[in-house]
Homo-oligomer: A and B are copies of this chain.
């Protein structure tokens, strides 16, 4: 079983990495880019077949390690 976690900065939290990417894209001629936010995608290979249980466990992983929930939010997708 596979889980995909997306970790992104909460709205309102500054994203200096995204700003740097936006400026670099602008200087490369991609003037249509208005804003950039950079997040993480984490793919997990899991043993077991209990999809609902896995979703709960992966959410616990996010709370404990994968995301800093003060400034980041996350989504969990079991595939």
Number of copies of this chain in the oligomer?
Answer: 2
The answer to the question of A71 belonging to the interface, with a C-beta cut-off of 8 Å to chain B, is no
Q: Provide the residues of chain B in CB contact with A66, threshold 8 Å.
A: 21
A38 in complex: contacting residue of B21, B41, B64, CB < 8 Å: B41
Q: Is the CB of B28 within 8 A of A36?
A: no
Q: Provide the residues of chain B in CB contact with A8, threshold 8 Å.
A: 41, 43
The answer to the question of A57 belonging to the interface, with a C-beta cut-off of 8 Å to chain B, is yes
A29 to B: closest C-beta gap in Å? 9
Question: Could you pull out 23 A-B pairs where Cβ atoms are within 8 angstroms?
Answer: A6-B41, A21-B42, A21-B66, A24-B65, A25-B61, A25-B65, A28-B64, A30-B60, A30-B61, A32-B46, A32-B57, A33-B45, A33-B61, A34-B45, A34-B46, A36-B42, A37-B42, A38-B40, A38-B43, A39-B40, A39-B41, A39-B42, A40-B40
